[in-house]
């Protein structure tokens, strides 16, 4: 299919109050009037960016995943966002879940942990990407601080020498059409957020979507949102600052393919591999 319709939800979050967040988000999701195929929530949508996973994390059999499954099924959409996940043995990850309307799901554990806020002291980093597929579109799913590390997001499969990647690093050889970041990115570094989202779109010749929260968190850190949708040339298709907003947008693969065919820059990229 040549189009893909997504809805971004930029919202304030109730600090470490899962029931309140799930009620609030369900109301917003069910209130979407436009026909949509994917709904994108912020990072740690059920708690805010908490450093208390020992208290608040859930397993994949817990309330939050069950909620995602039910809402995705009732709304007939793909639902995605991250939460503090209990992976057993007193280890926790910042886990993004890609929930399909039939109850099947994939997940991605945040690779780059935000040591500046102590995230690395409470969570374990992931080491595998998740490239989801829907209607023939390939979607690379990442979380917040991952945005600062372009190698992890590099769109590489179009390079003629990409097969030279080191043995056993098959997932370095990735191709995608849309790059999505879910975030709790503070306003004090919003310039970096906006600049890096545009850079990822230009260098990877892909659509880029960044979904951030708004409002103050429990540490009195203000978030301005600045959620964005950017086209493969780095042109801004949507953004919203400071206020809650629900926005539905349709992406066009014909435009994406035309950019890559007319400007085949991806073929000139450098060969490299990532050691996990």
Residues with a known catalytic role? 43, 110, 144
List phi, psi (to 5°) of 22.
-65, -40
Token code pair at residue 19: 């029931």
The radius of gyration of the chain's CA atoms, rounded to the nearest angstrom, is: 18
Q: Which helix (H) or strand (E) holds 137?
A: strand 137-143
Nearest residue to 193 (alpha-carbon basis) of 130, 123, 146: 146
- What gap in Å lies between CA 94 and CA 123, rounded to an integer? 7
Token code pair at residue 159: 């390079």
Query: What does the chain come to in residues?
Result: 276
Q: Determine how β-strand 222-230 pairs with β-strand 214-216.
A: antiparallel
What is the DSSP-derived secondary structure letter of residue 158? T
What are the start-end ranges of the H helices in the chain?
Answer: 18-30, 53-56, 63-75, 119-122, 190-204, 253-262
Torsion sign, CA atoms 127, 206, 99, 243: positive
């Amino acid at each position: 299919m040549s189009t893909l319709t997504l809805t971004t939800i930029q919202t304030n979050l109730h600090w470490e109050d899962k029931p309140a967040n799930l009620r609030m988000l369900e109301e917003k999701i069910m209130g979407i009037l436009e026909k949509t195929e994917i709904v994108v929530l912020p990072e740690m949508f059920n708690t805010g960016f908490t450093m208390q996973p020992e208290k608040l994390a859930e397993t994949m059999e817990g309330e939050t995943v069950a909620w995602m499954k039910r809402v995705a099924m009732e709304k007939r959409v793909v639902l995605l966002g991250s939460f503090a996940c209990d992976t057993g043995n007193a280890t926790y990850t910042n886990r993004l879940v890609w929930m399909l309307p039939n109850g099947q799901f994939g997940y991605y554990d945040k690779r780059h942990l935000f040591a500046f806020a102590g995230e690395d002291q409470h969570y374990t980093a992931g080491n595998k990407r998740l490239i989801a597929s829907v209607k023939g579109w390939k979607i690379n799913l990442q979380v917040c601080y991952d945005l600062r590390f372009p190698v992890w997001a590099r769109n590489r499969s179009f390079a003629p020498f990409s097969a030279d990647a080191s043995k056993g690093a098959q997932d370095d050889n990735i191709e995608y059409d849309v790059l999505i970041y879910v975030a709790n990115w503070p306003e004090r570094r919003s310039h970096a957020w906006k600049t890096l989202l545009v850079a990822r779109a230009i260098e990877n010749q892909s659509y880029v979507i960044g979904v951030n929260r708004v409002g103050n968190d429990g540490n009195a850190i203000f978030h301005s949102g600045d959620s964005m949708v950017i086209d493969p040339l780095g042109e801004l298709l949507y953004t919203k600052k400071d206020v809650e907003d629900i926005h539905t947008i349709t992406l066009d693969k014909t435009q994406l393919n035309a950019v890559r065919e007319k400007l085949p820059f991806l073929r000139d990229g450098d060969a490299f591999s990532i050691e996990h």
